[in-house]
Each structure stands twice: as C-alpha cells, then as structure tokens.
Amino acid sequence: MSSTLIKVKDFLGKYYPELHYSSIQDKYRRTKLSSLFEQRFIIPSGKSHITIDPSLSGLSIVILGNEILISQDISNHPNIEIKNFTGSGNQDTDPKNLYNSELFSTMAYIVCQDHTMCYITGEVDEPIYVKYKTDYETFSNSVILFEVLDDLSIEIVEEIESVSALNCVMNYILHKNSNIKLTTFYRNHISALSFIFRNIITQNHAIFNHFLFGQGSSNAVDENRLFTYMDSSAEFLGIVNSKNKNFHSILCVQPATPETKYAVSIIYKDIVYGKANVSFLPVVHDDSPGDKVTVSISSISLEKIPEQNVKTELDKYLKDIVDLGILERTTGVERFYDNKSKFLLFP
C-alpha cells in the first residue's frame, strides 16, 4: 500500500463529476458529502484477500478495506462459505458495472476490484460479527454480500469503527422464507467519516429486522435500500446518539411491482444536544403505500432536561427499542451485549 496521501477528487478521475452530482442530491442535502472530495487520504486499491486470523474468536470477520480477516471458527463452519468474487457472481462481470451514481457509497465498486461473499447454506447457531475498520489517514472502501438460502434464520452484528474515512456497501439477499436479524453498532471516533449503504433484497415471505445503535461523528451517513417482494416484511428500529456531532439516516423502500404486498415498520429515536446535525429521510416508491409502511421519527433534546433527570428521561424514552434489541441465540452473545452496554452509556 502506498503511503502517499492523495486528494479523493484526483483519485476518482473521470468518475468525480458523477460522484459530485451524487453527493449534492436532495437526499444528501444535509450531509455535506461533497466536502470529502478535497480531503487527502491513503486510498488502498487492488484485489481483496482473505486471511485466517487465529486471534479472532467465534464467528468473526474483520474488513479493513481490501484486507479481510476471518476467524478459524467461521472458516471451518460447514454452513458458511466465504470467498472473493467479481461482479454479481459472474466471474466475467466487471464490478464497476454495479456502480450507481445515484448512490454515493457505490463508489466502493470503483475502488474495489473484487468483493467478498458470505454464503449461508444451513443453520448457524451463533451470531456472525462483522467489524468494519479503517487505519489512520486511510480511506477504506469495501463491498460484502451476505446471501441466505430458503427457510434459514441468521443473526449478524455489524461493528463500524472508523478512525479516518470508511465507505462500505453491504448487500443482504434473503431467499424465500429466510430471516436476517441485523444489529449495527457505530463506535466512530469524533473526527471520523463513515458512509454505509445496505442493499437489501427480501424475496417472498422473507423477514429483515435492523436495529441501529448509532453514534455521531464528523460525518456519518447510514443509507438503506429495501427491495421487497410478495408478503415480505421489514422492521427498522434505531437509536442515534448525536454526541454533539453528525449522523444521517436514509431509507428507500421499493416494492418489486405495484401489486406487491409487504409490510415495513420504521421507528427511529434521536438524542440531540449542542450543535448536533441529525436527520432521517424515508422514501417510499409506492403510489399507494396505505398501511404497508408505518413511520415514527422522534427526538429528545438533552439541553431541555434538568441534568439530574437526564438518565430517568432517557431510560423512559428509549425503553421500547432497548428492550427489543436482544439476540435470540444464547451462544456467542457476550460481545453483542458488551457493545450494547457501552452504547447506552449516555451522553
């Protein structure tokens, strides 16, 4: 990896005009994404490589740009297959074809020459932990795809720890009657940048649940696109602690056809104080969503609560989401509850 700091704008070359357009779309209006292009980082490129790290325990994956570390347990698991691939499964497909200028984080397809796939073929009785990290002064980009076969249920825990600039595309493909329960913990440094895009495809009768425990940083953009098929359902529950910084959430719901029956429930609660810039933007591409989509977005200002009452008021305000944010599995869960306990140490 070169140690030379390069301006993002210069690195992107011919793709810069499109990405600049992407960053100033209405949905990103409050995020100030365009300020990224003038900043300088080490920008790793090249093919991803997977290494077994004996220091990792449980079902663990660490993604550091194009460096993928996996635990021995996940490597040996009979129902989990992890491999690098090019494009969308076709080895002859250029991964750049998956870049979409309408979606800022898909710049990862430009930087990454290949992607990492985690294929779930049978029951998994522990949560899978996926940590996304950056090195100092580094702008890391990565693409990972999780595919879950018919009738399977899985729990995944994302840990996002940016100390510099982090951009990730996570693809979640749920086959018929499958179920993913996903929890995301942000533990960014205050000065860090993170841009996350989840592309979620729920096929017939599939269920997707997402719990977001977000902490603000210099700039954090958490974007989801849900492509939903017949009789599938999804739930998005989030708590965002602004930490006097920035955190922006975007959710786009797109049914497969105008006749598709589906259900989506969205509840986000924000904790704001100081000069925090926190936003949530839901977009539903359905001319008649009716009661298929329910949205509840609210916030609480710590500055309006007497200091001695802050803990009591926060506990009351967040209780419904906190109580639901648990794992169904009982093995390999200590790391999850440790993350949750640390997040709940407010402010």
Q: How far apart are CA 328 and CA 335, in angstroms?
A: 14
User: In the structure encoding, which two tokens stand for residue 338, read together?
Assistant: 């440790």
pLDDT band at 290 (very low <50, low <70, confident <90, very high): confident
Phi, psi of 16 (to 5 degrees): -60, -45
Strands 128-133, 232-241: parallel, antiparallel or unpaired by DSSP? Answer: unpaired
The domain limits of the chain are 47-343
* Residue 99 main-chain phi, psi, to 5 deg: -70, 135
- In contact, 140 and 134? CB cutoff 8 Å: yes
110-114, 121-125, 199-203, 303-307: least confident range: 110-114
Dihedral (C-alpha) 155, 161, 165, 166: value to the nearest 10 degrees?
-10
Question: Which is more confident, 45 or 314?
Answer: 314
pLDDT tens digits, one per residue of 83-101: 987 654 454 566 678 889 8
Residue 103: pLDDT band (50, 70, 90) is very high
The mean pLDDT value for 306-333 works out to 95
For residues 290 and 293, give the distance between their C-alpha atoms in angstroms, rounded to a whole number.
7
Average pLDDT score, the chain: 93
User: Would the pLDDT of 207 be above 70?
Assistant: yes
Tokens 């977005």 sit at which residue? 297
